[in-house]
């Protein structure tokens, strides 16, 4: 008989992904979701990725998790879906690969893949955090927009010989990569909400940086390392940090650790466990402009916290541009919605 979900954890009934999404991630997602028909266009586009073929490939060449195969992982994905109130428990596959990794794939029937390297590296509670992280990606619908990023990256390589075309695409890809990195910060929060074990989440991030010898690492020292990275040296180091992000879809481990630590300490995690969070039923009424302004505010706060000399030099210029972005999204969303209403009236 199947085990019941672990009810020692608080179930977050009808929780909206907006509850845990990083403001920069949430602003982009709310803007895209507000555009009538946009989600459906990209869901159809992601279908070109051939989700069915990928599932068949993993079904043939990996291990499908269930009650008789990797039962502990099966319990963890089922528990994460229960806690985050995901309607369907996603399939989970374990793939032979020594590189620790996990991913959520698909948009019609999203599923999760973890590598043997990750299973071997992490203990049970740390794996619970990673599984919850991937369930968070599914709840947020990130796969749809990640498909867009992958398609644009492939297109950019094909038109690299056309200078202006490549430069334009590269600018879009760079912006999407920045969103992608913020989506990872979002789902670190989702992972903690699913596991409800912040210490295990921190251990997992430390192991992703330094391997299995956790006894040789220290959370306080790792956090100080994150501060050292933020301080950098001079403006040249700030520029090098920006260049190092080119092509990176994941934030560096020390950044993820410090961002998660800050979110835990500011009380957001506990407020959600106490039931103070937005519901999915209210997602359609979320304000695009407000969310984009929240994103701008988040960037301003991070710039004000940062000791990076280059960030200090750019702070005022970037803040003004981000604030203007909120007003721009308000205008675009209103026009899109109004055109949709006119179309419905004429039909």
**Quick one: pLDDT at residue 265?**
96
Give me the torsion for CA of 189, 193, 196, 197, rounded to 10°: -10
Residue 198 and residue 191 in contact, taking contact as beta carbons nearer than 8 Å: no
Residue 163 and residue 173 in contact, taking contact as beta carbons nearer than 8 Å: no
Distance spanning both ends of the chain, measured CA to CA? 53
Catalytic member of 51, 91, 134, 184: 134
Task: Report the distance separating Cα 322 and Cα 175, nearest Å.
Answer: 13
Residue 239 and residue 310 in contact, taking contact as beta carbons nearer than 8 Å: yes
Residue 181 and residue 187 in contact, taking contact as beta carbons nearer than 8 Å: no
Residue extents of the structural domains in the chain? 21-342
Would you state the structure tokens that stand for residue 71, as one six-digit string?
A: 């039962």
The question of whether 259 is a catalytic residue gets the answer no
The tens-digit pLDDT sequence of the chain (347 residues) is 344 455 689 999 999 999 999 887 776 666 655 555 555 555 555 555 567 888 899 999 999 999 999 999 999 999 999 999 999 999 999 999 999 999 998 877 889 999 999 999 999 999 999 999 999 999 998 876 666 666 666 665 565 555 555 555 566 666 667 778 889 999 999 999 999 999 999 999 999 999 999 999 999 999 999 999 888 766 677 677 777 777 677 889 999 999 999 999 999 999 999 999 999 998 887 776 666 666 566 556 665 655 555 455 444 444 444 444 445 445 545 555 555 555 544 44
In degrees and rounded to multiples of 5, residue 252 shows phi and psi of -70, 155
**Quick one: pLDDT at residue 109?**
86
Q: Which stretches within the chain are classed as H helix?
A: 23-34, 38-47, 51-61, 71-83, 116-121, 124-140, 142-158, 163-195, 198-210, 219-231, 235-244, 253-265, 268-273, 288-305, 309-346
Predicted TM-score of the model (pTM)? 0.76
Angle of CA points 84, 86, 87, to nearest 5°: 150
Question: Distance between alpha carbon 71 and the CA centroid of its chain, in Å?
Answer: 26
HEC string of 5-35 equals CCCCCCCCCCECHHHCCCHHHHHHHHHHHHC
């Amino acid at each position: 008989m199947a085990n019941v979900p672990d009810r020692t954890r608080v179930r977050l009934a009808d929780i909206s992904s907006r509850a845990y999404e990083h403001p920069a991630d949430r602003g982009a997602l709310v803007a895209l979701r507000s555009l009538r028909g946009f989600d459906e266009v990209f869901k159809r586009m992601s279908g070109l990725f051939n989700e069915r073929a990928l599932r068949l490939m993993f079904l043939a060449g990996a291990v499908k998790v269930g009650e008789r195969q990797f039962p502990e992982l099966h319990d963890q994905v089922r528990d994460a879906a229960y806690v985050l109130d995901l309607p369907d428990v996603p399939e989970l596959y374990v793939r032979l690969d020594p590189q620790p990794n996990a991913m959520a794939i698909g948009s019609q029937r999203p599923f999760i893949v973890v590598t043997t390297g990750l299973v071997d590296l992490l203990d049970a509670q740390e794996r619970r955090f990673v599984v919850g992280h991937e369930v968070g990606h599914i709840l947020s619908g990130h796969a749809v927009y990640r498909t867009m990023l992958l398609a644009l990256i492939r297109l950019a390589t094909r038109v690299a010989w056309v200078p202006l075309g490549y430069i334009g695409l590269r600018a879009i890809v760079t912006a999407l990569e920045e969103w992608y990195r913020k989506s990872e910060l979002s789902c670190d929060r989702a992972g903690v909400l699913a596991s409800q074990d912040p210490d295990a989440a921190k251990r997992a991030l430390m192991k992703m940086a330094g391997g299995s010898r956790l006894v040789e690492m220290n959370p306080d020292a790792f956090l100080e390392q994150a501060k050292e990275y933020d301080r950098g040296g001079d403006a040249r180091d700030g520029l090098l940090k920006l260049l190092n992000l080119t092509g990176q879809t994941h934030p560096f481990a020390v950044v993820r650790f410090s961002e998660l630590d800050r979110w835990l300490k500011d009380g957001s995690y506990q407020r959600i466990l106490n039931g103070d969070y937005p519901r999915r039923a209210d997602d359609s009424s979320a304000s695009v402009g407000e969310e984009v302004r929240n994103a701008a505010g988040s960037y301003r706060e991070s710039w004000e916290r940062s000791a990076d000399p280059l960030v200090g030099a750019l702070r005022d210029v970037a803040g003004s541009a981000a604030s203007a972005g909120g007003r721009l999204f308000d205008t675009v969303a209103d026009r899109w919605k109004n055109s949709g209403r006119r179309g419905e009236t004429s039909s």
